[in-house]
Amino acid sequence: MKHLIDPTDLTREETDAIVALGEDIIENREKYSHVMDGKKLATLFYEPSTRTRLSFTAAMMELGGNVLGFSDARSSSVSKGETVEDTVRVVGCFADIIAMRHFLEGAPLAASAVSKVPIINAGDGSHSHPTQTLTDLLTIKRELGRLNDLTIGFCGDLRFGRTVHSLIKALSRYEGIRVVLIAPDELRLPDYIIQDVCVKNGIPYREVRTMEEVLPELDILYMTRVQKERFLDEDEFDRIKDSFILDCEKMKLAKEKMAVLHPLPRVNEILKEVDDDPRAAYFRQVENGKFVRMALLCKLIKWKDEPGHETPALEESGIKLIDPFGWHCSNPKCICNNEQIRPLFRMSGSGIERCVYCDTKARRN
């Protein structure tokens, strides 16, 4: 059985197969309209969502399957204190596959360790969002015709922006990728992504202060929202919320073939006037999200009983686990600090012990 918790849970070949299936579904909708007859998807959303939850729902319905679940955990037994592990054990009795969004980082990974059905991470805190990544890959492929030889500028909240973390990881497996990071100091890309993804894979990256200085060289401009909900200090949020705003004047600096992506929702980082520019791909990106999730559901259900597509248990995954005795995860928003989950740490590529659930640096007790 294969779960999708992190984009690198899929090999590059599996990723390409899902993107290619998404393209085929777009061309041959009717062919896929009954492939999930009798199957059920559970959507467990502990955090708000419009695109991800509804596109999963639409995807399963268009494949002929059914959907159950909750969009507000307060209406479930979570409000009585039921843990993530117990919840997925129960929901696995009713559904063939589960998509989970959680405000706690690492919650989908903890769920996958006890689940008897595939778990899809639909976004965990500021950590990871692998199905947005599949959406982004399909969009880049359709907009530019390729997934290699790209200069991609990530702009806005690169610190808490889980879609950015996941997309950089996924793109690091393609050839000729160059990354430009456009963010205020407070919202720089986390060091573990720079070290363990960019440096380790030889991805050229640079950090710049303005959009204008790099726009002419970009193939993709990936805009993100400064996320108010991730800030503890409202004054800090107010100070940096409008650091980067894309408007038609700035678009004049960009290549004719550049594509503007945004996972959405946007607030005011892309002015509405940009929407009519043919390079504004963010609403096409939303629709691609449904098709790629259709492809993902087909593949994960198919791979469930097929040898060669297993997600290894953490202990068997080949990563060096560190005895948790004497260490703790310093992230208060990690699942291992909020539920009775055994902390686990591994040695990262940069030689730093990190929490398996959220990638935060481990600390000695």
Rounded to whole angstroms, how far apart are CA atoms 146 and 248?
A: 26
Please, which residue, 132 or 348, has the CB nearer to ligand CP?
132
Please, which residue, 194 or 296, has the CB nearer to ligand CP?
296
Interface map 236-265 toward ligand CP (x if CB under 6 A): ---------------------------xxx
- List 132, 172, 348, 360, residue binding ligand CP (CB under 6 A): 132
Please, which residue, 60 or 113, has the CB nearer to ligand CP?
60
Rounded to whole angstroms, how far apart are CA atoms 290 and 260?
A: 19
- List 7, 123, 125, 161, residue binding ligand CP (CB under 6 A): 123
Find all residues with CB under 8 Å of 311, minimum gap 6, and list them.
1, 2, 3, 5, 9, 112
Best CA proximity match to 190, nearest among 220, 171, 168: 168
Best CA proximity match to 246, nearest among 262, 230, 228: 262
How do beta strands 177-182 and 150-155 pair? parallel
Q: Collapsing DSSP states into helix, strand and coil, what is residue 262?
A: coil
Tokens of 252: 């004049």
Best CA proximity match to 169, nearest among 187, 142, 190, 145: 190
Cβ atoms of residues 34 and 64 within 8 Å: yes
Axis crossing angle, helix 282-303 with helix 12-27, rounded to the nearest 10: 110
Classify residue 339 as exposed, middle or buried by CB count within 10 Å of its CB (0-12, 13-18, 19+). Answer: middle
Minimum CB distance to ligand CP, residue 189 (Å): 19
Please, which residue, 51 or 89, has the CB nearer to ligand CP?
51
Please, which residue, 133 or 151, has the CB nearer to ligand CP?
133
Residue 128 binding ligand CP, by CB under 6 A: no
277 dihedral zone (left: phi>0; alpha: psi -120 to 50; beta):
beta
Minimum CB distance to ligand CP, residue 162 (Å): 8
DSSP H/E element including 249 = helix 248-251
Q: How many residues bind ligand CP (CB under 6 A)?
A: 9
Please, which residue, 155 or 198, has the CB nearer to ligand CP?
155
Residues 35-94 binding ligand CP (CB under 6 A) are 49-52
Please, which residue, 43 or 172, has the CB nearer to ligand CP?
43
Please, which residue, 112 or 132, has the CB nearer to ligand CP?
132
Cβ atoms of residues 245 and 223 within 8 Å: no
Q: Collapsing DSSP states into helix, strand and coil, what is residue 273?
A: helix
Interface with ligand CP (CB under 6 A): 49-52, 123, 132, 263-265
